[in-house]
Amino acid sequence: MSWCKDMFGQEKPIIALLHLNAFPGDPLFQDGDSMKKTVEDARMDLHALQDGGVDGILFSNEFSLPYQRKIDYIGPAAMARVVGELMSEIRIPYGIDCESDNLAAIDLAAAIDAYFVRATFTGAYAGDTGITEPDIAAVLRRKKQLGLKDLKLFYFLNNESDEYLVHRELESIAKSIIFTCRPDGFCIMGAYAGQEASSEWLSEVRGSIGGVPVFCGTGCKAETVARKLAVSDGAFVGTTFKVNGDFNNHIDPKRVKKFMEQVDLYRSRQ
């Protein structure tokens, strides 16, 4: 897709997730933790990902579990501090995933000059933490008010861990979202972080809509990425880049390079 190549330099970019440590006030923030350590851990992960050859970075408050519908002020403030301190070291396009408050993500994107946002913008879901009802009308109006005409929005087409309150086929959902909301891209997710997204869903949705990129949102590994790119327009990649492929760890530079070697091999054959 042309805008993806314009932004990331590749038709099928690999966007790496950079999971930020828990913030003050989060349940996982422990005695001895600090924002200084959060910045330094993020710096280490950023360089491992960039040096490994990924095409974009998505900063995410992944360890602010369980996620808040309306995030405390400390969340966006902490994320802005981290990205602000690393700004001079970021060499590739970067975005924000502000779990699970998409309005906060839009404001944060404006504050840090983000290129894109990934979030649950549409639908109504039920899950472990209750009912999720995003307000896409408010999101798009806020984006307009802030003058973010170049900010790209990746919509979750299905939500990690949660289920639609009323079942509909993903192709039908994608088409109606395109008509009403004009998304820049879709993400198809697995059941949770690191869980493989369905290749069948990727292929079916991508084949039925045309014109809007469809990304694999979770579960790509070095041994599967070629198959996933064959049926998608790119991938968001997180857990597999971490030490031992463990969600709770930080980035392993060797795993990033091994993964991107397989991506380069795939690209060379196209």
Q: Please, where are the H alpha helices in the chain?
A: 2-8, 35-52, 74-86, 102-112, 136-145, 170-181, 199-209, 225-230, 253-268
Three-state SS at 95 = strand
Q: How far is CA 214 from CA 28, 45, 208, 228, in A?
A: 33, 26, 11, 11
Output the CA torsion sign for 39, 107, 239, 89. negative
Amino acid identity of residue 244, one-letter, is N
Size of the chain, expressed as the number of residues it contains: 270
Q: Tokens in use for 106?
A: 């839009």
Nearest to 156 by CA among 131, 180, 125: 125
**pLDDT for position 257:** 98
Judge whether 199 and 231 are in contact, CB under 8 Å: yes
pLDDT given at position 30: 94
Residue 194: per-residue pLDDT: 59
How many whole angstroms separate alpha carbon 174 and alpha carbon 171? 5
Distance CA 68, CA 77 (A): 15
What is the Cα–Cα distance from 29 to 65, expressed in whole angstroms?
10
Name the token pair of 10: 């590749």
Query: What does the block give as tokens for 76?
Result: 């966006």
Q: What is the pTM of this model?
A: 0.95
- Rounded to the nearest 10 degrees, the angle between the axes of helix 74-86 and helix 102-112 is 30
**Domains of the chain: residue spans and CATH:** 2-264 (3.20.20.390)
Res 253: pLDDT: 98
d(CA 39, CA 34): 9
Query: What pairing do the DSSP bridges indicate for beta strands 94-97 and 14-19?
Result: unpaired
Answer whether 260's CB lies under 8 Å from 14's CB: yes
**Distance (Å, rounded) from C-alpha 234 to C-alpha 5?**
11
Take residue 253 and report the two structure tokens written for it.
């530079």
DSSP three-state, residue 89: helix
Going residue by residue through the chain, which has 270 residues, state the pLDDT in tens, using 9 for 90 and above.
Answer: 579 999 999 999 999 999 999 999 999 999 999 999 999 999 999 999 999 999 999 999 999 999 999 999 999 999 999 999 999 999 999 999 999 899 999 999 999 999 999 999 998 888 888 888 999 999 999 999 999 999 999 999 987 778 888 888 999 999 999 999 999 999 998 765 657 888 898 999 999 998 899 999 988 999 999 999 999 999 999 999 999 999 999 999 999 999 999 999 999 998
